[in-house]
Amino acid sequence: MSEFTSPGEVADALKRVNYLPDERISQVVFLAERLDKPVLVEGPAGVGKTELAKALAEIHGRRLIRLQCYEGLDESKALYEWNYRKQLLRLQADEGADWSTVEDDIFGESFLLERPLLEALRSPEPVVLLIDEVDRVEIETEALLLEVLADFQASIPELGTVRAVSRPLVVLTSNNTRDLSDALKRRCLFLHIGYPEVDREREILLTRVPELPQQLAEQIAGVVRHIRAQPLRKSPSVSESIDWARTLLALGIEEVNEGVTTDTLHVLLKYQADIDKVAADLLGPR
């Protein structure tokens, strides 16, 4: 699969689709493709984990198949399900027919509901499979994911074993609200994405908000760095600094100062306690 001969090429390709990686990101992506292993991307919300998977699909010209995880996600939503209603209708229509023919029929292709995992396995063209926010599923579902990732195959009792037609590039993301099992982690390469350095944050801002003046982008990145250095309940992430940039633009603000910052802190911070703390810090020592 590997089209890239160096991490530098990966970085350039990602930048072309407006994703700004750091060295670690492009290195791990490069390695994952070389070793043909899934990547487990972990980090706080809003640092570009999901976006990375989307960007990877784009640079490879592959379809993105996304399995959004949530508590209660099970095999029938992750892998496959039979279309019971349709089966029932069929049974009623065929009343009196020979059972074995009916059985073959209703457990056939046209009654199968393909879910993201199966869809990725059966796709004739290689895809990018994104298993998003995997830390939300229960241990049983984690075990199912592990099975699929281990051999790139799944067994469906009525159909037999489904093997991957083409190897998908797999990205799992986690906000680390729960430690994942060792077995799953062992399968994957691990990529931690934290908050970006100021320079990269400025570049992300300029890419995502093209109308933003250079100077303002620089100030925003600086203020956000300053805020992140404080112990808060929820630090502002990249997505919040982008929102803040858009807000400032919309307000016609060309330069950030204490007043502007305190007035718009609610865009960056979720908790009132954090807003108060940061405002006190900005306005306090004179």
Ligand X SMILES: Nc1ncnc2c1ncn2[C@@H]1O[C@H](COP(=O)(O)OP(=O)(O)O)[C@@H](O)[C@H]1O
Nearest approach in angstroms of CB 229 to another protein is 7
Nearest approach in angstroms of CB 22 to ligand X is 8
Contacts 24+ apart (CB under 8 A), 114-118: 114/80, 115/67, 115/76, 115/77, 115/78, 115/79, 115/80, 115/81, 116/65, 116/66, 116/67, 116/78, 117/67, 117/78, 117/79, 117/80, 117/145, 117/148, 117/154, 118/79, 118/80, 118/154, 118/156, 118/162
Nearer to ligand X, 46 or 168 (CB): 46
Distance CA 222, CA 206 (A): 14
Tokens of 142: 């984690």
Tell me which residue of 149, 175, 176 sits closest to 239, measured CA to CA.
175
Task: Determine, following the binding rule CB under 8 A, whether residue 24 of this chain makes contact with another protein.
Answer: yes
Task: Determine, following the binding rule CB under 6 A, whether residue 204 of this chain makes contact with ligand X.
Answer: yes
* Cβ atoms of 245 and 216 closer than 8 Å: yes
Task: Determine, following the binding rule CB under 6 A, whether residue 129 of this chain makes contact with ligand X.
Answer: no
51 binds, among ligand X, Mg ion, another protein, none (CB under 5 to 8 A by kind): ligand X
Task: Determine, following the binding rule CB under 8 A, whether residue 93 of this chain makes contact with another protein.
Answer: no
Options 110-118, 124-132, 204-212, 227-235: segment touching another protein (CB under 8 A): 227-235
Number of residues that bind Mg ion (CB under 5 A): 1
Residue 119 burial by Cβ neighbours in a 10 Å radius (0-12, 13-18, 19+): middle
Percentages helix, strand, coil for the chain, rounded to the nearest 5?
Answer: 55, 15, 35
Distance CA 274, CA 268 (A): 10
229 binds, among Mg ion, another protein, ligand X, none (CB under 5 to 8 A by kind): another protein
Q: Of residues 45, 91, 159, 279, which one binds ligand X by CB under 6 A?
A: 45
Q: Of residues 238, 256, 268, 269, which one binds ligand X by CB under 6 A?
A: 238
Q: Of residues 88, 139, 251, 280, which one binds another protein by CB under 8 A?
A: 139
Task: Determine, following the binding rule CB under 8 A, whether residue 261 of this chain makes contact with another protein.
Answer: yes
Options 34-42, 49-57, 118-126, 203-211: segment touching another protein (CB under 8 A): 34-42
Q: Which of residues 60-89 bind Mg ion (CB under 5 A)?
A: none
Residue numbers of the site for ligand X (CB under 6 A)? Answer: 18-20, 45-51, 173, 204, 207-208, 238-239, 242
